[in-house]
Structure 1
Amino acid sequence: MARKDTEQYRSYEKDAFDNPPEGPVGVHRGNRPMIVRLTPFVIVLVAAVAAGVLFWSIFSGEAANMFNRRSEQTQTTAQTSQVASSSSADESASGTASHSSQSASVSESTSAEDTPSQTPSESESAQSTPEESQQVNTNAQITVINGTGVSGLANDRAGVLQNRGFTNVSAANPDATTVLPAQTVVYYQNEADLATAQQVANALGITTVEQSASIGTPIQVVLMQ
């Protein structure tokens, strides 16, 4: 009987119901992506972590510390603002005082300029010294006396002076009337010859310069050992 039914079924023409589609049909859903299936677990895990952190902060006192830090930061900001405002006020006050002092200084300088000053002749006479007012006379007669006994030393020193621009220089040995000093010295006759004598001493490296009215030339150099 069953065989007969099978043969009879096969004799019918096949339709769409003999080839059903693959996979679930109707109320059945297909396979969902992995991320969609894991999303509920991730949400639950994040919520659990957040609840744990909140629970720990409340019972450990960390939440109170966070509020205290925030209040301290607020106080610090307020203090900084107060200090900045007070600094601005101080700078404004100091600027006003500086402006006042500058105005007073300008007034004093104006008064000082209005006051009659010394005449040019008085100022120059007060600032100049006798040596500065004198002129070096390179044409002055200069005698170099060799009191050392070293042959040719006076000629050598006279050549040095000629190279420095002195035009009237002569070398000599001491005679019977010459009084030899204890050390090398540059003599000058008159006060007007002081600047010239000092220039001669600088050229020869001599430190002693003295005035003497008994020398025979305006400038006399006595070389001693």
Structure 2
Amino acid sequence: MRKVFQDELAQVGEELVEISKLVASAIENASTAFESADVDLAQDVIAADARIDFLQNALDERAIDILALQGPVASDLRMIVSSLRMSASLERMGDLARHIAQLTRLRYPSQVIPAPLADTFRKFAELDVQIARKVAELLESRDLNVAREIVKLNLEVDELHAGVFKTVASGEWAESASTSVDVALASRYFERFADHGVSVARKVSYLVNGEWQPEDIGGA
């Protein structure tokens, strides 16, 4: 019976890694579509999000069954509860990649972002892709050095996000209301994607340390 239980826990961990890799692919493709106004690729991202949703639901059902049937305690219980919370963060990351793709589709054939902010959003995308890849790496390795790297990348994303809103609020900003809304939404999507990556990193830290201490991975 214990062997079956451990196999089920291992399956939950493998499913988290699978979802995280799909999320990494989603943000990579969404970012490429966003920068190049590639509506076909954007549509692929939107359609692929259903797979992430399906896997999250399947993982959650498996975890709940384990809770109900196995009565796990201590570290095993932490693993299951944390997995439920991490799957929610990963699913939300997939949703945010889909939102970026939807913006691309909405404004096609035009670019969503005006030229003066193109480099800023290119950097946004690079950072989010790095975070997504590191989340997948972290879920496989549980290396808290990777978790700290995620936190540091998120700080860069936060700086970009603040800079975008400063630009839009400046007297020199002369873009239309619809463009301003698109810029604000896109900035928020990229920023929230990174935040959910940090959320996963903190939960992995909790699994490793057994205590909820955000400072263990480099920031509150």
Tell me which interval the TM-score lies in, with the shorter structure as reference length.
Answer: under 0.3
TM-score scaled to structure 1, two decimals?
Answer: 0.22
Higher strand share: 1
- Structure of greater relative contact order (alpha carbons < 8 Å, 6+ residues apart): 2
What TM-score, normalized to structure 2?
0.23
